């Protein structure tokens, strides 16, 4: 189904896993996007970004707002999957299969590539990690070396991470996904919301409490602007 002209793939948890496993086997590039209200609103202002999202190989719902948008049009969302949880599920697959994972960290981010690698390797010792600290504003000149890269995670934030992945789409990468603040959760630089808040889809409120100045405008868009847009929108398939 499309939500404000952005495609959401309505798949169950098992269907998502099977799709990603197939991506890792077919020898082709695949972009995976996790979609929330904020990303959909950004896509309304940037046609190029919207085009990248709609050409992605898999778009997974990443917020309770998407569930409500489905209900608005009489549909039931099969699965809401937080981006950080999906990242860890993919890492579990990579660990079992002994795959290589490239970590594209933001040069100006809270967590460096080295910190992220050292945090993740404790839980996924059989993954071959590589990566770099990259300037999100200068990625057009960046190239991943000839080293094998089965999976790529990029933490530039939307839309930069999706644009970076789209830029690299000709490289030999099985699965590439933007992970936003997931690296900072992995390193402990930002504490994740308690499980009860995650269950009720209140991660946004937790992040607002931790970073009120940075998150206020984003939160207002997600909990006020997005629902209003959905209420007055028409179901476009």
> In this predicted model, what pLDDT tens digit does every residue of 136-169 receive, in sequence order?
988 777 777 656 689 999 999 999 999 999 988 8
Asked whether residue 205 is assigned to any structural domain, the reply reads yes
Asked whether residue 99 is assigned to any structural domain, the reply reads yes
| Confidence category of residue 95, pLDDT binned at 50, 70, 90 | very high
Number of structural domains in the chain:
1
CA 204 to chain centre: 15
pLDDT surpasses 90 at 113: yes
When comparing pLDDT for 172 and 125, which is higher?
Answer: 125
Asked whether residue 94 is assigned to any structural domain, the reply reads yes
Query: Domain range for residue 131?
Result: 2-231
CA atoms within 13 A on the CB side of 93: 21
What pLDDT was estimated at residue 231? 93
| Confidence category of residue 235, pLDDT binned at 50, 70, 90 | low
Asked whether residue 237 is assigned to any structural domain, the reply reads no
Asked whether residue 134 is assigned to any structural domain, the reply reads yes
For 48-96, where are the E strands, in sequence order?
A: 58-61
Query: Which residues have CB under 8 Å from 122's CB, separation 6+?
Result: none
Asked whether residue 80 is assigned to any structural domain, the reply reads yes
Structure token pair of residue 17:
């896993």
Asked whether residue 236 is assigned to any structural domain, the reply reads no
How does 17-40 read in b/e, with b if 16+ C-beta sit within 10 Å? bebbeebbeeeebbbbbbbbbbbb
């Amino acid at each position: 189904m499309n939500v404000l002209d952005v495609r959401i793939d309505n798949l169950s948890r098992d269907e998502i896993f099977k799709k990603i496993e197939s991506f890792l086997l077919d020898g082709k590039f695949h972009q995976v996007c996790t979609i929330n209200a904020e990303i959909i609103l950004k896509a309304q202002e940037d046609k190029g970004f919207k085009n990248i999202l709609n050409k992605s190989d898999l778009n997974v719902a990443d917020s309770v707002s998407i569930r409500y948008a489905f209900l608005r049009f009489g549909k039931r969302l099969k699965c809401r999957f937080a981006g950080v949880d999906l990242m860890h599920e993919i890492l579990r697959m990579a660990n079992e299969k002994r795959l290589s994972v490239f970590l594209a960290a933001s040069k100006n981010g809270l967590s460096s590539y080295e910190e992220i690698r050292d945090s993740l390797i404790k839980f996924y010792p059989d993954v071959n990690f590589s990566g770099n600290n990259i300037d999100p504003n200068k990625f057009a000149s960046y190239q991943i070396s000839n080293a094998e890269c089965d999976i790529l995670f990029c933490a530039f934030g939307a839309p930069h991470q999706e644009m970076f992945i789209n830029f690299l789409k000709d490289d030999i990468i099985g699965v590439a996904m933007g992970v936003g603040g997931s690296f900072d959760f992995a390193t402990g630089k930002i504490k994740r919301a308690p499980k009860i808040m995650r269950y009720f889809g209140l991660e946004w409120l937790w992040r607002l409490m931790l970073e009120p100045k940075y998150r206020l405008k984003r939160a207002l868009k997600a909990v006020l602007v997005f629902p209003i847009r959905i209420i007055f929108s028409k179901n476009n398939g």
